[in-house]
Amino acid sequence: MKSDNDKISNNEREIDEFLSKFEALDSDDTSQASANVGDASSDKGSKRNKKNKSKTKGSKNHRGSFLARLIKGNGEPLKDRLFLKENPYYNKSLGASVVVNGKKVKNTPKVISKGKIAKDLIILFAILFVIAILYTFVVISTAPKIDPENIYDSVAQSSVIYDDQDKKVSTVFYNQDRQLISYKDMPKNMINAFVALEDKTFWKHHGFNWTRMAGAVVQSFTGSGHISGTSTITQQLARNVYLPKIKSQRSIKRKILEMYYASQIERSLSKKQIIEAYLNTIYLGFGSYGVYSASHAYFSKDPKDLTLDECAALAALPQAPDTYALVKLVGKDSVTEGNTNIILRDPDTYIANDTSKNRRDTALKLMHEQGYITDKEFKAAYNKDLINFINPSVKSNKSVNSYFNEYVIDEVSHDLQKKYNISPEEAERMIYTGGLQIHSTMDSTAQSVITKEFETGSNFPSLVSIRKDSSGNVIGANGTILLYDYNDSFNSDGDFTLKSDEVTINKDGSVTIKRNKRLNIFTTKAGGKVNYSLEFKKQYVQENGTFYIYSGGFINVPSKYKKLDSDDNLVIDKSYFKDFPKAMVKSGNTLIIKPDAYSLNEKTIQPQAAMVVVEVGSGKIKAMVGGRGQSGSRLYNRALNPRQAGSSIKPLSVYGAALQKSFDYAEKGETWPFVDYKHDKQGVKSYGSYLTASSTIVDEQMTFNGKVWPKNASNSFTGPVTMRKGLQQSINTIAVKIQLQVGNEYSADMLKKFGLTTIVTKGDTSDMNSAALALGGLTNGVIPLEMAQAYATFPNGGVRQSSIAYTKVTDRHGKVLLKSKSKKKKVMDEGVAFIMTDMLRTVVSNGIAGAASISGVQAGGKTGTTNSNYDIWFDGFTPNYAASLWIGTDVNIKLSSMSGMAARLWGRIMNQVPNAKNGKYKSMPNDVVKVGSEYYTKGTEKGRSTYVQPKPTPQQKQYEEDDDTDDDTSQSSSNTNSGPTIPGA
């Protein structure tokens, strides 16, 4: 089989042979002219003919030499030979003219010949034709192959995310928001408007309009030097789909490829398929690719519902989509209040752009002339102002669904990689360009309610007791700087000045930036190459009483200019300052970093918050919001990152663990072997045979290594209480006493069964102590998503479900690619779960979490407050939904409220979610008995202790709303300590 190169070589030989014929004619003509001149001229002509014959013979051995000979000739310039023949009457001994047959003619070696003109033109056109054929062949033979029958495989199509009601909530794409629709969903007026304006012979031609194209080619050679728009709809489709990188070029090469691909499209697809593909792929401005996206962007409706004037408006756009875009985002100062084209003024200003009105009216005229619309329809739609029928769907920069969308995309990507053994990059391309249909588990109402309430500042506590140093920097309890003062670091021009103690201006012109000052110096490694990153530390700014944090920023210095010195300080080479004179400026012994050299992260409002809602019994994530007041993509998602839990850990590691361990003992026919750890006066008295909801536990002073610990929020002790009461009032001493009896290993194991992945059980700093397991002073904290699923375990009969964010994913053709199913794990006995559910419900009805109550359904849950009010939580459930809410700052700054405010916001949100009020709690299992007003798992009711109401004393106080903190459970901004290690715990 011959290669393409062999084919091209054969064509070159054929071209040479073809051109040789024209050369022979040229020689014969010259010989004939020489026969009619004088002797001297005849001798010269004879010599010239011999020379030409010799060259003609030699040319047979040199392929491709004809063009060179044509240009060089016999040493004569081409201009002295083209269209000229030898003058038979020329005599160089005579003057400027001679008389021939009584006529005075010029005495020149050559004269213009009509025959020579005709012959040379034929040769020139033949050469150009052959060159064009050869060029066309080369272009086509080297062009990428296409498959028009699967044309949409070459088109980037947006993937769509649907909520749990199969309602579209978002699209996923790189830079082209495009969704495909079928021909039957396209209104006739829209199809006819595009055909009338762009390609009136579309239904008749076979891909090309030869008349328009011929004019374009002539223009290319004789006119402006480029080919202007004459493409048919088929050619435009070929250009948009197969030539996206060069579609803006106006060149012969692009035109050849366009024609070639258009011919293949015409042979493979019907006219309806072609116009459908064209309307699905054409760019129509305002970030809209295809008529579906454009219809929603400009008119907030499906294409099938567009009116005649709206169809004509879209048809007017392809010629200059960005210039003609029907809606434009402009600066607020660029329009006045009296401007009649203003669509939206706040928060961003959008105007109706009627630049395309003349072209829109032209489309209507052509539709009328070509018989597509009646006189009445034409008059009704003609000459209308855009502002009278535009109805855009303006997208806010702040997406309600950003956090959930990014989570579900990551889950789909992970599952695609796992199932199909593809790379992360391949999975990403499938999601962002493959037109996938992602059916998520999102409850749109819950998602939007959380987002709305997070935007309301009054729902959140303020920051109090902010400690600052003399420079205005925020400092922690140990005096370390948590946040630098933005206004102290940056001036009004955005300049950041490194002081003399932070930088050294070296004699050789280089600069040394010192470590452990206001800038971070990180060592990074990518692709085997080491680099050094220079970044701002966290800054804060207060604006109109609101506290914001800049989480950092990046200073751009190319790697070739950076190195570390022997002290691990960063040295910037002197050449950097020559190459980037406006980026950094040396000023005396200081260095000014200009705005051109850095980028700061978006400032974030404080306090922050995160909330996750899950469905009980299915593991489906119904809502996820990982922050407030932020916009963009790839945001820091606090719903997936750990924070200290405080007393919200108690139902999992203390009370639930105690009831389950009692069940375990009773099932084996054993009683609980209680141990007196000698930390209190009660010892093991009044516990009974098992720890149950009615067990009597004394709230009293406890001592560890001579230190009183823990403390209650009330700073007092109330004496004997039931275990249920201890949970309702979140009494710290009760939790510690119970956890000591449960044991560290059992508590930690229960937390892991509940699905908490952040528990540390080994190492010098671990969670194997009561400060962590009883009061929530964990090494790493807990993750809101995992806490939501943990609390869903109680109303789900003791079974934890793994999280899922989608039910299925299909491709653009409806083929199922992925299905997601939650996995079950038995955490506790069904009876234990029933009792815990009931106990947690009374925390809301009779305890400190009354603010979390919901109308129409009994909610259950638990508050959580950490040391110095750094973090406040409410984790709870209804029969159908469970949810975890965290509020705090991105560094540890004290809040003005304890967890009651979190409970109130939790209740406020869940009250607005109809599905949170659906369903019923599970009925009492067979292994649960009720004695009096209390529930027990069978066997544990035996040997129960009797609770004796203590006589009130003046020292006893009613517990406050949030009695769940302990001052000895410490934290820091960079590392959350697990609290003191308790002997015997």
802-839 residue pLDDT tens: 999 999 999 988 999 999 999 999 999 999 999 999 99
Identify any residues that bridge with 523 across adjacent strands, giving them in sequence order. Answer: 532
Specify whether the CB–CB gap between 967 and 693 falls below 8 A: no
> For residue 934, is pLDDT > 80?
yes
Residue 618 CA to its chain's centroid (Å): 28
Non-local CB neighbours of 756 within 8 Å, separated by 6+ positions: 652, 782, 783, 786, 787, 790
Query: Does the pLDDT value for residue 224 go beyond 90?
Result: no
Once rounded to an integer, what is the mean pLDDT over residues 728-739? Answer: 97
Supply the pLDDT for residue 656: 98
Q: State how far the Cα of 376 lies from the Cα of 330, in Å rounded to an integer.
A: 37
Letter for the amino acid at 835? I
Residues 181-184: contacts with CB within 8 Å, 24+ apart?
Answer: 181/276, 181/280, 181/290, 181/291, 181/292, 181/303, 182/276, 183/272, 183/273, 183/275, 183/276
Structural Rg of the chain based on CA atoms: 42
**Full strand arrangement of the beta sheet holding 511-513:** 503-505, 511-513, 570-572, 562-564
Q: Which residue has the higher pLDDT, 32 or 724?
A: 724
Inform me whether the pLDDT recorded for 948 exceeds 60: no
CA-based nearest residue to 395, from 461, 305, 296, 312: 296
d(CA 874, CA 900): 8
The CATH code belonging to domain 176-388 is: 1.10.3810.10
Q: What type of residue sits at position 349?
A: T
Task: Report yes or no: 386 and 290 within 8 Å, Cβ to Cβ.
Answer: no
744 closest CA partner among 705, 772, 710, 709: 772
Q: Identify the helix (H) or strand (E) that includes residue 436.
A: none
Q: What is the pLDDT of residues 875-886, one digit of tens each?
A: 999 999 999 999
Confidence (pLDDT) at 219: 59
User: Is the peptide bond preceding residue 607 cis, with omega within 30 degrees of 0?
Assistant: yes
Which DSSP category does 782 fall into?
A: B
Q: Is the model more confident about 884 or about 210?
A: 884
Residue 551 Cα distances to 495, 554, 636, 693, angstroms = 18, 11, 10, 46
DSSP conformational letter for 462? P
pTM above 0.85, yes or no: no
CA atoms within 13 A on the CB side of 11: 16
| pLDDT tens by residue, 641-660 | 999 999 999 999 999 999 99
- The encoded tokens of residue 909 equal 């949100």
Helix axes 291-299, 308-315, angle to 10 degrees: 120
Q: Would you state the pLDDT for residue 97?
A: 78
Strand order in the sheet with 584-587: 496-498, 590-593, 584-587
Residue 157 has pLDDT above 90, yes or no: no
> Would you tell me the crossing angle of helices 656-667 and 830-845 to the nearest 10 degrees?
150
Q: Which residues of 576-597 are buried (b: 16+ CB within 10 A; e: fewer)?
A: bbeebeebbeeeeeebbbbeeb
CB-based burial, 853-864: b 16+ in 10 Å, e otherwise: bbeebebbbbbb
- Residue linked to tokens 């729902």: 459
Average pLDDT over residues 382-395: 86
Distance CA 625, CA 401 (A): 8
What integer pLDDT is reported at residue 73 of this predicted model?
57
Going by C-alpha positions, the residue among 277, 194, 294 that lies closest to residue 239 is 277
Distances (CA, A) of 178 to 154, 172, 329: 13, 10, 20
Tokens of 310: 């709206």
| CA distance linking residue 671 with residue 939, whole number of Å | 10
Sign of CA dihedral 319, 322, 324, 325: positive
pLDDT at 46: 43
Asked if pLDDT for residue 398 goes beyond 70, the answer is: no
Q: Give me 969's structure tokens.
A: 């459970």
pLDDT over 70 (residue 527)? no
Give the pLDDT confidence score for residue 528 in this predicted structure: 74
C-beta of residue 496 within 8 angstroms of C-beta of residue 593 = yes
Could you report the per-residue pLDDT of 128-147, keeping only the tens digit for each?
A: 888 888 888 887 887 788 88
What is the rounded average pLDDT of the residues 928-947? 88
What backbone torsions phi and psi does residue 903 show, to the nearest 5 degrees?
-60, -40
What are the start-end ranges of the E strands in 404-480?
A: 437-440, 474-475
Residue 399 backbone dihedrals phi, psi, to 5 degrees = -85, 135
How far is residue 741 CA from its own chain's centroid?
A: 49
Say whether 506 sits in a helix, a strand or coil.
Answer: coil
What span, in angstroms and rounded, lies between the C-alpha atoms of 789 and 802? Answer: 8
CA gap 218, 378 in Å, rounded = 37
Backbone angles phi, psi at 600, to 5 degrees: -95, 145
Tens-digit pLDDT profile for residues 598-641: 989 889 999 999 999 999 999 999 999 999 988 777 889 999 99
- Give CA–CA dist 842/725, Å, rounded: 9
What is the number of residues in the chain? 985
Distance from chain centroid for Cα 864: 33
> Does residue 10 register a pLDDT over 50?
no
- In the three-class reduction of DSSP (H, G, I as helix; E, B as strand; rest coil), residue 192 is classed as helix
DSSP element (H, E) containing 106: strand 103-106
Write out the DSSP string of 211-259.
HHHHHHHHHHHHSSSS--S---HHHHHHHHHH-TTTTT---HHHHHHHH
Task: Give bridge partners of residue 825 from the DSSP assignment.
Answer: 800
- Residue 677, pLDDT above cutoff 90: yes
Average pLDDT score over residue span 660-687: 95
| pLDDT at residue 86, as a whole number | 77
Q: Is 830 helix (H, G, I), strand (E, B) or coil?
A: helix
Residues 288-331: pLDDT tens digits?
Answer: 889 999 999 999 999 999 999 999 999 999 999 989 999 988 76
> What's the mean pLDDT in 408-415?
96
DSSP E strands in 415-498: the ranges are 437-440, 474-475, 481-485, 496-498
What is the Cα–Cα distance from 668 to 942, expressed in whole angstroms?
A: 14
Those residues with Cβ within 8 angstroms of residue 248's Cβ, 6 or more apart along the chain or in another chain: none
**What single letter denotes the amino acid at residue 481?**
I
**332: confidence class by pLDDT, cuts 50, 70, 90:** low
pLDDT at position 782: 98
CB-neighbour burial class of residue 56 (10 A; exposed 0-12, middle 13-18, buried 19+): middle
What percentage of the chain carries pLDDT values higher than 90? 62
pLDDT at res. 142: 79
Query: How much is the mean pLDDT over the chain?
Result: 85
Query: For residue 629, which of 360, 398, 915, 473 has the smallest C-alpha distance?
Result: 398
The mean pLDDT of 220-224, rounded to a whole number, is 53
**b/e map 534-557, b = 16+ CB within 10 Å:** bebbbbbbeeeeebbbbbebebeb
Q: Domain coordinates of the chain in residue numbers? A: 4-141, 176-388, 474-605
Q: What is the DSSP letter of 273?
A: H
Tokens standing for residue 363: 């489309």
> Residue 741 — pLDDT band, cuts 50, 70, 90?
very high
Tell me, what's the pLDDT at 223?
Answer: 52
**Tokens linked to 148:** 């028009």
Flag whether pLDDT at 671 surpasses 70: yes
pLDDT of residue 887: 98
Enclosing H/E stretch for 785: helix 784-792
Amino acid in the structure at residue 274: I
- What DSSP state is assigned to residue 654? I
What's 36's DSSP letter?
Answer: T
**Helix segments in 496-648, DSSP class H:** 574-579
